[in-house]
């Protein structure tokens, strides 16, 4: 057969394939950095709310525990949003004339639930459960980063699949003693004395050498809390 494709054709073909491949790689890399960026996932942008509720004010400055308002978080899939009655335990006494609180007073007096816009929202086909995380030593602020500083509540994590899986594959990197789940200021101990104090405070037993860092503390807790990380990445865990 005659040589239809001359040598230079090959070079051209190779160049275009090479170029096309590069473009594809660039697209994949670029695409994933776009979908992971806060712009795409709308992290950091608080939605409109009927009342400008501040976690910074109520948690950080007044020291109200998360469970005072989100009490179902340890027992059910949902953390829940508190009804106006909860706000009125204080706001029937303080700031009773604040115009900002009018919707709360209306909701309470007319017995009509206040409608808050969702900040975090997973797609329908993803199964999530708060209680299982909270009861196994995953702190609120692993997933709601910086909530204690928020004047208005915004999403701080994309909640993309790779992000959930990142922890499901390596829970020892993030897990903390259960008693620290509601503490937004929790820090991994940096010295031997701090580590010992933390374990003793929560009655956590260890064998042999004291853990030295998060990896070692995490490995100890994963074992003690009976976490089976081999199965945690199965599709059926989150897609049932
Ligand atoms: C005094 C009551 C109160 C306390 C205490 C409180 N919250 Fe909230 N929280 C609310 C209200 C009301 C909303 C709904 C309005 C909003 O999104 O700001 C909310 C919303 C949220 C949301 C977003 C909900 C969504 O739509 O996705 C998260 C996450 C959250 N709270 C976490 C926490 C954590 C973590 C703590 C403890 C550090 C805490 N809250 C303490 C009242 C409270
Ligand atoms: C444990 C008491 C307590 C509870 C419960 C509470 N608050 Fe407050 N709230 C306060 C105090 C104290 C202040 C403000 C004092 C200050 O500014 O120094 C305040 C201030 C506010 C303000 C600002 C008012 C203004 O005019 O600046 C808003 C809005 C507010 N709270 C909303 C809520 C909502 C919504 C809830 C229920 C989800 C709630 N609070 C529950 C104690 C409480
Ligand atoms: C492992 C990650 C993770 C942890 C830990 C976590 N949350 Fe959430 N939270 C989420 C996700 C994901 C959503 C959105 C759920 C949805 O759309 O179904 C959410 C939603 C919420 C909401 C909105 C209402 C609801 O029930 O969906 C509140 C309030 C909330 N979280 C509070 C908390 C508090 C308080 C803690 C700690 C006690 C906490 N969360 C711990 C991931 C987490
Ligand atoms: C920071 C760590 C962490 C993150 C982030 C996280 N998880 Fe988990 N998840 C865990 C741990 C730990 C368990 C408990 C495993 C056990 O009990 O063996 C768990 C358990 C679960 C379970 C229950 C599994 C069962 O056996 O019933 C579901 C469902 C789940 N996670 C969904 C999610 C989804 C969806 C996301 C992302 C939106 C997410 N998780 C993010 C750590 C995490
Ligand atoms: C730890 C929880 C978790 C596990 C395990 C998990 N997924 Fe997901 N998956 C998610 C979340 C969260 C989303 C939603 C992501 C979003 O909205 O960006 C998702 C989205 C998807 C989507 C839709 C993709 C899209 O872009 O809309 C597909 C398809 C999917 N998952 C398949 C799988 C398969 C196949 C497996 C098993 C290999 C798996 N998932 C395991 C949490 C999980």
Could you read off the pLDDT of 32-55 as tens digits, one per residue?
444 444 444 456 789 999 999 999
Q: What is the mean pLDDT of the chain?
A: 87
222 lines ligand 4 (CB under 6 A): no
The total number of residues shown for the chain amounts to 240
Whether 98 contacts 106, CB under 8 Å: no
Q: Where are the domains of the chain?
A: 55-81+116-238
Could you read off the pLDDT of 92-120 as tens digits, one per residue?
999 999 999 999 999 999 999 999 999 99
Q: Considering only 20-24, 62-66, 166-170, which range has the smallest mean pLDDT? A: 20-24
What percent of the chain shows pLDDT beyond 90? 80
Residue 90 CA, ligand 3 centroid: distance in Å: 25
Q: Which ligand is nearest to the CA of 229?
A: 4
Protein residue with least CA distance to atom 24, ligand 4: 237
Helix (H) or strand (E) run with residue 14 in it: helix 7-35
Q: Alpha helices, DSSP H only, in 38-184?
A: 38-41, 55, 66-69, 84-91, 102-110, 130-134, 140-143, 161-169
Residue 32 CA, ligand 3 centroid: distance in Å: 25
- The binding-site residues of ligand 2, defined as CB within 6 angstroms of any ligand atom, are 51-53, 57-58, 62, 64, 69, 82, 86-87, 89-91, 94-95, 98, 100-101, 104
């Amino acid at each position: 057969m005659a040589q239809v494709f001359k040598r230079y054709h090959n070079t051209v073909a190779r160049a275009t394939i090479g170029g096309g491949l590069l473009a594809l790689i660039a697209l994949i890399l670029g695409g994933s950095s776009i979908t992971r960026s806060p712009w795409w996932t709308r992290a950091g942008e608080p939605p409109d709310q009927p009342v400008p509720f501040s976690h910074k004010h109520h948690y950080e400055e007044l020291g109200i525990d998360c469970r005072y308002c989100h009490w179902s978080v340890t027992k059910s899939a949902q953390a829940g949003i508190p009804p106006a009655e909860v706000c009125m335990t204080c706001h029937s006494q303080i700031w009773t004339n604040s115009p900002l609180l009018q919707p709360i007073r209306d909701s309470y007096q007319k017995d009509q639930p206040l409608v808050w816009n969702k900040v975090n929202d997973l797609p329908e086909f993803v199964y999530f459960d708060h209680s299982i995380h909270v009861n196994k030593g995953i702190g609120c602020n692993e997933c709601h980063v910086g909530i204690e500083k928020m004047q208005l509540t915004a999403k701080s994590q994309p909640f993309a699949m790779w992000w959930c899986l990142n922890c499901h594959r390596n829970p020892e990197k993030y897990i903390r003693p259960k008693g620290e789940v509601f503490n937004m200021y929790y820090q991994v101990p940096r010295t031997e004395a701090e580590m010992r104090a933390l374990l003793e405070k929560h009655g956590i037993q260890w064998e042999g050498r004291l853990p030295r860092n998060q990896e070692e503390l995490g490995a100890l807790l994963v074992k003690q809390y009976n976490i089976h990380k081999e199965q945690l990445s199965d599709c059926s865990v989150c897609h049932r």
